Structure 1
Amino acid sequence: DIGCGYGASTIMMAQAFPTASFVGYDYHADSITEARTRAQAAGLGDRVRFEVASADSFAGDGYDLVTTFDALHDMGDPVGAAQHVRRSLADTGTWMVVEPMAGDHVQDNLNPVGRAYYGFSTLLCTPASLSQDVGLALGTQAGPARIRDVVTQGGFTRFAKVAETPFNQVFEIRP
């Protein structure tokens, strides 16, 4: 689980899939400390671990599933992250990316949710990306075409939007 923050998504997956093991990665050390505390409190310390690592340098390979929840657009180098995820996946693995709901054109996003997300992007997401190496600055309103472009540059060949809500879109990305 890349960009796991406090570990909420990692812990929820571990609770939903009790025979699987999970690793959460985030570059922010204080978040990882909190994630470890939360996993222990949930009784998942034997199947969940958290490590400090960036999206382009986390450990391991042969993963069946890599997840990124609401974090790809915040990364300074999402293409580098995609390349690293591609190397870390098993040949039959899947990268599940959940991103804020966004269309490919500005007019697609001129609705209440899109307007709020443009505000978040301007104040948080874009500056966070620009402060990191490369600083690609996808922003919150990167639509499916832009996400597809990033993951294709990262070495993936299969890309599908598999679900959406008014607030998020889910992408299935495969080698």
Structure 2
Amino acid sequence: MTVDEQKLMEFVHRFVGDLGATMAAGGIVVGDRLGLYKALAGGPALPQELAERTGTAPRYVEEWLRGQAAGGYVEYDPQTGQYSLTPEQAFALTDPDGPIFAPGAFQLALGALKAEPRIVTAFKTGEGVGWHEHDEDVFSGCERFFRPAYSANLVAAWIPALDGAEEKLRGGARVADVGCGHGASTELMAKAYPASSFTGSDLHAGSIEHARKRSLAGVTFEVAGAQSFGGGPYDLVTTFDALHDMGDPLGAARHVRSQLKPDGSWLIVEPAAGATVADNLNPVGRAYYSFSAFLCVPSALSQEGGYSLGAQAGEEPIRRLVTDAGFTRFRRVGETPFNIAYEARP
């Protein structure tokens, strides 16, 4: 084997960068949980000062700050020895309700990685790993990762783009939010359209138990799969980053159609993806393929149906599913760097 030294070093640099990023994920979650980022957003600080603001140990905070500065997550002033956050860093690291919240993504990643022994076994057997088998950080991290995009786009852009849906919601519509998880998407819609009624459903009983604690007027939550939820006919059915986790997505699509009114809409929000593998060989595709191998594919293969779209399925497989389920209209109605929104109608 002949090794090109320059190419080898390029690969080593990539490896070192990934190793640092992997370990930094833990530091980001620590910074979020201990309020270190929020405290630092209040103004530049020496390690001792930040420790005093947060009730933490100075030596740990000092090492944490050094690593954060090396990774570009905080700023360091060698003249004063102080650390600080730029407005952009504070924007992405301190507001869980903002349009970008990085700590939630890292919480999800760390939670997913705890299943590594099960995933290794699944690779050998081809069997699935159920969503319920994952660490609690997967469920909380999933909400905290996706909620910012929903907060920024669901009511402001995606629903208004649907044909006639917003008018119905303002007047009083019936909505099913399928695969709702902790209920963040259900909550956002319920608060924006108080005249409407909402039913959130999910196969994971633990997530529904959490969702019920939201105590929202006009909202009920139930444990049910996408192939079995009831209560129709609905004016609107929604699935947010959930269709690709289902073992029988075609069965789910058929059931959604059966629960819709003739003039109803199905809002499908899925991870952003291109049409081919080559189109997805980019940072977003890398993140989603990696999450998919640990979460999405194992979850789908653990269910009846034995089929898995994966997080990077792209538009055409979803269009085929919708068409095969009997829908006659399908179109893209919105997109962000992380999601694409589609509308399907009977």
Q: TM-score, normalised by structure 2?
A: 0.49
Name 1:67's counterpart in structure 2.
Answer: 238
Name 1:57's counterpart in structure 2.
Answer: 228
Q: Where does the alignment leave 5 or more consecutive residues of structure 1 unmatched?
A: none
Q: Of the two, which has the highest radius of gyration?
A: 2
Q: Superposition pairs for residues 25-174 of structure 1, below 5 Å?
A: 25-38=201-214, 40=215, 44=216, 46-174=217-345
Alpha-carbon offset, residue 169 of structure 1: 0.1
Question: Following superposition, which runs of at least 4 residues in structure 1 exceed 4 angstroms of deviation?
Answer: none
Q: Distance in 2 between matches of 1:135 and 1:72?
A: 14
Q: Is the 8 A contact 1:74 1:137 kept in 2?
A: yes
Q: TM-score, normalised by structure 1?
A: 0.95
1:18 equivalent to 2:189? Answer no
Mean CA deviation greater in 127-136 or 83-92: 127-136
Counterpart amino acid of residue 278 in structure 2: Q
Q: Distance in 1 between matches of 2:231 and 2:220?
A: 13
Q: Distance in 2 between matches of 1:29 and 1:106?
A: 34
Q: Is the 8 A contact 1:56 1:80 kept in 2?
A: yes
CA-to-aligned-CA distance 1:99-121 (integer Å, 9 cap, x gap): 00011101111111011111111
Alpha-carbon offset, residue 82 of structure 1: 0.3
Name 2:185's counterpart in structure 1.
Answer: 9
Q: Tell me the matched-pair count.
A: 170
Q: Distance in 2 between matches of 1:22 and 1:152?
A: 26
Alpha-carbon offset, residue 168 of structure 1: 0.2
Q: Give the fraction of aligned pairs with identical amino acids, expressed as a percent.
A: 63
Q: Distance in 2 between matches of 1:50 and 1:140?
A: 25
Q: Is the 8 A contact 1:156 1:174 kept in 2?
A: yes
Counterpart amino acid of residue 34 in structure 1: H
Alpha-carbon offset, residue 152 of structure 1: 1.2
Structure ranking higher on relative contact order (CA contacts 8 Å, 6+ apart): 1
Normalized per residue, the structure richer in helix is 2
Q: Where does the alignment leave 5 or more consecutive residues of structure 2 unmatched?
A: 1-176
Mean CA deviation greater in 91-100 or 109-118: 109-118
Normalized per residue, the structure richer in strand is 1
- Which secondary structure does the structure 2 equivalent of 1:34 belong to? helix
CA-to-aligned-CA distance 1:28-85 (integer Å, 9 cap, x gap): 11111110112x1xxx2x3000011110000122200000000000000000000000
- Which secondary structure does the structure 2 equivalent of 1:55 belong to? coil
